[in-house]
Amino acid sequence: MSDEQSDRSPMLDYASPSLDRPAKPCVKQARPTALDLVVVVLLIGVLVGLLMPSMTSRRPANSVRCMSNLRQLGVALNIYARENRSSYPDSLEQLVSVLSPKALSGVLICPGTADTRAAGATTQQWQYDLTSPGLREHYASSTTRPVLHLSYVYVGSGLKMTPGTTSRKVLAYEPLSNHGGRFVHVLFADGHVEQFKAVEASKLISELDYGHNLPRVEKVK
Protein backbone atom coordinates (compact mmCIF):
# COMPACT_ATOMS: atom_id res chain seq x y z
CA MET A 1 0.00 0.00 0.00
CA SER A 2 1.43 3.38 -0.95
CA ASP A 3 1.93 6.32 1.43
CA GLU A 4 -0.61 8.27 -0.60
CA GLN A 5 -3.26 5.62 0.05
CA SER A 6 -2.40 5.33 3.76
CA ASP A 7 -2.72 9.11 4.29
CA ARG A 8 -6.09 9.29 2.63
CA SER A 9 -8.84 10.14 5.17
CA PRO A 10 -11.77 7.74 5.50
CA MET A 11 -14.92 8.71 3.66
CA LEU A 12 -17.78 9.89 5.88
CA ASP A 13 -21.34 8.98 4.98
CA TYR A 14 -23.38 12.01 6.00
CA ALA A 15 -26.54 10.46 4.63
CA SER A 16 -26.50 7.68 7.23
CA PRO A 17 -28.08 8.37 10.63
CA SER A 18 -25.69 8.77 13.50
CA LEU A 19 -25.34 5.75 15.73
CA ASP A 20 -24.91 8.06 18.72
CA ARG A 21 -28.32 9.66 18.20
CA PRO A 22 -30.76 8.39 20.89
CA ALA A 23 -33.67 6.38 19.50
CA LYS A 24 -37.16 7.77 19.91
CA PRO A 25 -39.11 5.96 22.61
CA CYS A 26 -41.84 3.66 21.34
CA VAL A 27 -45.14 4.85 22.73
CA LYS A 28 -47.81 2.16 23.00
CA GLN A 29 -51.24 3.55 22.22
CA ALA A 30 -54.00 2.56 24.61
CA ARG A 31 -56.99 0.72 23.17
CA PRO A 32 -60.33 2.53 23.50
CA THR A 33 -62.46 1.32 26.39
CA ALA A 34 -66.18 0.58 26.33
CA LEU A 35 -66.79 3.93 28.05
CA ASP A 36 -64.85 5.74 25.29
CA LEU A 37 -67.05 4.07 22.67
CA VAL A 38 -70.22 4.99 24.52
CA VAL A 39 -69.15 8.63 24.80
CA VAL A 40 -68.46 8.75 21.06
CA VAL A 41 -71.84 7.18 20.28
CA LEU A 42 -73.60 9.66 22.59
CA LEU A 43 -71.89 12.60 20.91
CA ILE A 44 -72.90 11.27 17.50
CA GLY A 45 -76.44 10.77 18.77
CA VAL A 46 -76.60 14.37 20.00
CA LEU A 47 -75.40 15.65 16.62
CA VAL A 48 -77.92 13.47 14.80
CA GLY A 49 -80.67 14.70 17.10
CA LEU A 50 -79.75 18.30 16.28
CA LEU A 51 -79.36 17.81 12.54
CA MET A 52 -82.20 15.45 11.74
CA PRO A 53 -85.05 17.91 12.41
CA SER A 54 -83.71 20.14 9.65
CA MET A 55 -83.21 17.18 7.31
CA THR A 56 -86.67 15.69 7.62
CA SER A 57 -90.12 17.26 7.43
CA ARG A 58 -92.14 14.11 8.00
CA ARG A 59 -91.46 13.82 11.75
CA PRO A 60 -91.51 16.53 14.41
CA ALA A 61 -88.25 17.44 16.10
CA ASN A 62 -89.30 15.95 19.44
CA SER A 63 -90.00 12.61 17.78
CA VAL A 64 -86.58 12.52 16.10
CA ARG A 65 -84.76 13.41 19.32
CA CYS A 66 -86.79 10.86 21.27
CA MET A 67 -85.79 8.09 18.86
CA SER A 68 -82.18 9.22 19.11
CA ASN A 69 -82.34 8.96 22.92
CA LEU A 70 -83.68 5.41 22.71
CA ARG A 71 -80.97 4.38 20.25
CA GLN A 72 -78.31 5.70 22.62
CA LEU A 73 -80.00 3.84 25.47
CA GLY A 74 -79.87 0.68 23.33
CA VAL A 75 -76.12 1.09 22.81
CA ALA A 76 -75.54 1.41 26.56
CA LEU A 77 -77.78 -1.60 27.33
CA ASN A 78 -76.00 -3.83 24.82
CA ILE A 79 -72.56 -2.81 26.08
CA TYR A 80 -73.72 -3.67 29.58
CA ALA A 81 -74.98 -7.07 28.39
CA ARG A 82 -71.72 -7.89 26.60
CA GLU A 83 -69.81 -7.13 29.79
CA ASN A 84 -72.20 -9.15 31.99
CA ARG A 85 -72.52 -12.56 30.34
CA SER A 86 -75.15 -11.44 27.82
CA SER A 87 -77.57 -10.39 30.60
CA TYR A 88 -79.33 -7.03 30.51
CA PRO A 89 -79.50 -5.03 33.76
CA ASP A 90 -82.36 -5.50 36.20
CA SER A 91 -83.02 -1.76 36.13
CA LEU A 92 -81.83 1.32 34.29
CA GLU A 93 -80.14 2.56 37.46
CA GLN A 94 -77.53 -0.17 36.96
CA LEU A 95 -76.39 1.46 33.73
CA VAL A 96 -74.26 3.84 35.80
CA SER A 97 -71.54 1.18 35.38
CA VAL A 98 -71.49 2.10 31.67
CA LEU A 99 -72.59 5.75 31.63
CA SER A 100 -72.20 8.55 34.14
CA PRO A 101 -75.42 9.67 35.87
CA LYS A 102 -75.18 13.03 34.08
CA ALA A 103 -75.00 11.45 30.63
CA LEU A 104 -77.65 8.85 31.44
CA SER A 105 -80.07 11.45 32.81
CA GLY A 106 -80.35 13.18 29.45
CA VAL A 107 -80.88 9.95 27.52
CA LEU A 108 -83.76 8.90 29.79
CA ILE A 109 -85.86 12.02 29.14
CA CYS A 110 -88.24 12.22 26.19
CA PRO A 111 -88.19 15.77 24.76
CA GLY A 112 -91.92 15.52 24.10
CA THR A 113 -92.64 15.50 27.83
CA ALA A 114 -92.29 17.92 30.72
CA ASP A 115 -90.11 15.41 32.57
CA THR A 116 -86.94 16.68 34.23
CA ARG A 117 -83.55 15.09 34.72
CA ALA A 118 -82.70 13.22 37.89
CA ALA A 119 -80.09 14.85 40.10
CA GLY A 120 -77.90 13.93 43.03
CA ALA A 121 -74.50 14.72 44.52
CA THR A 122 -73.63 11.00 44.59
CA THR A 123 -74.51 8.03 42.40
CA GLN A 124 -76.74 6.63 45.13
CA GLN A 125 -78.64 9.91 45.46
CA TRP A 126 -79.09 10.06 41.69
CA GLN A 127 -80.38 6.47 41.58
CA TYR A 128 -82.92 7.28 44.27
CA ASP A 129 -84.00 10.52 42.59
CA LEU A 130 -84.47 8.76 39.24
CA THR A 131 -87.45 6.74 40.44
CA SER A 132 -88.61 8.61 43.55
CA PRO A 133 -91.41 10.57 41.78
CA GLY A 134 -92.80 7.32 40.33
CA LEU A 135 -92.27 4.88 37.47
CA ARG A 136 -93.44 5.06 33.88
CA GLU A 137 -95.01 1.61 34.24
CA HIS A 138 -97.79 3.18 36.28
CA TYR A 139 -98.77 5.38 33.34
CA ALA A 140 -98.00 3.13 30.36
CA SER A 141 -101.55 3.15 29.00
CA SER A 142 -102.60 6.56 30.30
CA THR A 143 -102.63 9.81 28.37
CA THR A 144 -102.01 11.88 31.52
CA ARG A 145 -99.18 11.58 34.02
CA PRO A 146 -97.18 13.60 36.55
CA VAL A 147 -93.70 15.00 35.93
CA LEU A 148 -91.11 12.23 36.41
CA HIS A 149 -87.36 11.77 35.94
CA LEU A 150 -87.70 8.74 33.64
CA SER A 151 -89.69 8.97 30.41
CA TYR A 152 -89.41 5.33 29.29
CA VAL A 153 -90.55 1.92 30.50
CA TYR A 154 -87.74 -0.60 30.77
CA VAL A 155 -88.65 -4.27 30.17
CA GLY A 156 -85.20 -5.80 29.66
CA SER A 157 -84.84 -7.25 33.16
CA GLY A 158 -84.18 -10.97 32.99
CA LEU A 159 -83.53 -10.96 29.24
CA LYS A 160 -80.38 -12.17 27.54
CA MET A 161 -78.80 -11.34 24.21
CA THR A 162 -80.06 -14.22 22.08
CA PRO A 163 -79.03 -14.53 18.41
CA GLY A 164 -81.97 -14.62 16.04
CA THR A 165 -84.54 -12.99 18.32
CA THR A 166 -82.93 -9.66 19.20
CA SER A 167 -84.67 -7.83 16.36
CA ARG A 168 -88.11 -8.43 17.94
CA LYS A 169 -87.34 -8.43 21.66
CA VAL A 170 -88.30 -5.16 23.33
CA LEU A 171 -85.92 -3.48 25.76
CA ALA A 172 -87.83 -0.24 26.38
CA TYR A 173 -90.82 1.72 25.19
CA GLU A 174 -92.64 4.91 26.11
CA PRO A 175 -96.18 5.43 27.37
CA LEU A 176 -98.84 6.85 25.08
CA SER A 177 -98.78 10.02 27.17
CA ASN A 178 -95.29 11.01 25.97
CA HIS A 179 -96.51 12.34 22.63
CA GLY A 180 -100.08 13.23 23.43
CA GLY A 181 -101.43 9.73 22.79
CA ARG A 182 -100.61 9.85 19.05
CA PHE A 183 -97.77 7.32 18.89
CA VAL A 184 -94.96 5.67 20.87
CA HIS A 185 -91.37 4.73 20.16
CA VAL A 186 -90.09 1.24 20.95
CA LEU A 187 -86.46 0.15 21.44
CA PHE A 188 -85.64 -3.38 20.34
CA ALA A 189 -82.72 -5.50 21.53
CA ASP A 190 -80.75 -5.17 18.30
CA GLY A 191 -80.67 -1.40 18.85
CA HIS A 192 -83.23 -0.25 16.27
CA VAL A 193 -86.19 1.95 17.20
CA GLU A 194 -89.65 1.86 15.65
CA GLN A 195 -92.61 4.20 15.86
CA PHE A 196 -96.06 2.71 16.47
CA LYS A 197 -99.37 4.52 16.13
CA ALA A 198 -101.75 4.63 19.08
CA VAL A 199 -103.87 1.58 18.17
CA GLU A 200 -100.95 -0.75 17.49
CA ALA A 201 -99.00 0.70 20.42
CA SER A 202 -101.84 -0.21 22.80
CA LYS A 203 -101.75 -3.81 21.55
CA LEU A 204 -97.96 -3.98 21.89
CA ILE A 205 -98.03 -2.62 25.44
CA SER A 206 -100.80 -5.07 26.32
CA GLU A 207 -98.70 -8.01 25.13
CA LEU A 208 -95.72 -6.80 27.13
CA ASP A 209 -97.91 -6.44 30.23
CA TYR A 210 -98.88 -10.10 29.84
CA GLY A 211 -95.21 -11.11 29.64
CA HIS A 212 -95.04 -11.78 25.91
CA ASN A 213 -91.82 -10.08 24.88
CA LEU A 214 -91.91 -10.98 21.21
CA PRO A 215 -94.82 -8.73 20.24
CA ARG A 216 -96.95 -9.91 17.33
CA VAL A 217 -98.14 -6.47 16.35
CA GLU A 218 -98.36 -5.47 12.71
CA LYS A 219 -97.69 -1.84 12.01
CA VAL A 220 -100.47 0.19 10.41
CA LYS A 221 -99.34 1.68 7.12
pLDDT of residue 55: 39
- Phi-psi region at 77: left, alpha or beta (left = phi > 0; alpha = psi -120 to 50): alpha
pLDDT in tens, 22-66: 555 555 555 666 556 555 555 555 555 544 444 344 568 899 999
Count helices and strands in the chain by DSSP H and E runs = 6, 4
- Exposed/middle/buried for residue 114 (C-beta within 10 Å: 0-12, 13-18, 19+): exposed
pLDDT in tens, 6-20: 555 555 454 544 445
Cβ(150)–Cβ(180) below 8 Å:
no
Cβ(157)–Cβ(93) below 8 Å:
no
Instruction: Give the distance between the most distant pair of CA atoms in the chain.
Output: 109
pTM over 0.75: no
